[in-house]
């Protein structure tokens, strides 16, 4: 088939972000299972009568149909893929953060089916347990899987530069570019046994569920892991993420008895 006439039908996907293209149309940043992150032009999607209008919602499983070979494809159809409803409350903020991570880190048209499955599992978990204490653990699991999919997470069962096996009782820190190394005083760190458990979980057949269990078992050690992963993701994103700032603003407003802002449509238009 001529590449210019290529049509993709019923591709599983999620809308990460949308922004206006004209008076009546939208550009969608979608994350799809077999085609990675793609840009889609949804013609007329802003019209009240558009069939797209009630379907093109963020964090909802969709089946997308598009055509074209340009950088921005033309959306031809979108159907709800069934399954979970949109997360709410703190879970919505967590899902928005995960969506922004994908938007900021994934190159266009680079398939990552295992990461797609992890994102789908994260959203399903957040929708099913919107007020769960495991929300933070679910995010740490997703961050680890994202770094691994990007090729930026070293093996977690040995020191990266020396390949020396970890001492289960000794502390180790994760450093962007340098990988896993022995911790110095003041470094955020986990004992070797925790890193080994995380490494084993990431290698399971269902890595999101296994890594969620491993991160949930960290207890107080989850805080230094959060610090290390945040530093790594900020380094590889190359910019400050917007959702954490919005969460801080929301908490400040909530403390002052005002309604927090929703982060769902607060991302700036990404570069093409």
pLDDT, greater one: 194 or 127: 194
Which pLDDT tens digit goes with each residue over 82-116? 876 778 778 888 999 999 999 999 999 999 999 99
Closest among 175, 180, 92 to 139, alpha carbons compared: 92
Residues 38 and 107 in one domain: no
Q: What is the mean pLDDT of the chain?
A: 87
Model pTM?
Answer: 0.86
Domain encompassing residue 238:
90-255
The answer to whether 146 and 134 are in contact (CB under 8 A) is no
User: CB neighbours (10 Å) of residue 32?
Assistant: 22
Of the candidates 116, 168, 160, the residue with the CA atom closest to the CA atom of residue 142: 116
Using CA atoms, how far apart are residues 31 and 12, in angstroms rounded to an integer? 9
Q: For 59-75, what is the mean pLDDT?
A: 94
In a domain, 261, yes or no: no
Q: Give every CB contact of residue 32 below 8 A, 6+ residues apart in sequence.
A: 11, 12, 13, 38, 64, 116
Rg over CA atoms, the chain: 20
Q: Quick one: 71 and 160 in the same domain?
A: no
Confidence of residue 270 (pLDDT cuts 50, 70, 90): very low
CA-to-CA distance for 167 and 173, rounded, in angstroms?
Answer: 13
100 Cβ contact list (under 8 Å, min separation 6): 16, 17, 241, 242, 243, 267
- Quote the number of domains for the chain: 2
138 in the same domain as 190: yes
Give yes or no: residues 109 and 240 share one domain. Answer: yes
Please check the confidence at residue 256 and state whether its pLDDT lies above 80. Answer: no
């Amino acid at each position: 088939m001529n590449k210019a006439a290529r049509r993709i039908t019923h591709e599983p996907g999620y809308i990460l972000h949308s922004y206006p293209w004209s008076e009546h149309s939208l550009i969608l940043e979608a994350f799809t299972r077999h085609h990675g992150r793609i840009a889609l032009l949804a013609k007329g999607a802003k019209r009240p009568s558009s069939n797209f209008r009630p379907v093109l919602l963020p964090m909802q499983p969709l089946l997308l149909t598009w055509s074209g070979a340009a950088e921005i494809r033309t959306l031809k159809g979108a159907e709800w893929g069934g399954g979970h409803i949109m997360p709410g409350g703190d879970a919505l903020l967590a899902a928005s953060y995960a969506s922004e991570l994908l938007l900021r880190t994934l190159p266009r048209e680079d398939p990552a089916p295992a990461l797609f499955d992890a994102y789908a599992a994260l959203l399903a978990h957040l929708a099913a347990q919107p007020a769960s204490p495991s929300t933070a653990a679910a995010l740490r699991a997703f961050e680890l899987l994202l770094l691994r999919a990007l090729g930026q997470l070293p093996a977690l069962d040995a020191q990266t530069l020396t390949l020396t096996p970890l001492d289960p009782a000794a502390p180790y820190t994760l450093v962007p570019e340098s990988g896993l190394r022995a911790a110095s005083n003041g470094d955020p760190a986990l004992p070797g046994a925790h890193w080994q458990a995380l490494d084993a979980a990431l290698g399971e057949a269902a890595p999101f569920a296994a890594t969620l269990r491993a991160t949930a078992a960290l207890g107080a050690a989850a805080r230094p892991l959060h610090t290390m992963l945040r530093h790594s993701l900020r380094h590889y994103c190359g910019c400050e993420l917007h959702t954490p700032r919005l969460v801080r603003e929301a908490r400040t407003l909530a403390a002052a008895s005002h309604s927090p802002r929703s982060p769902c449509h607060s991302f700036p238009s990404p570069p093409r």
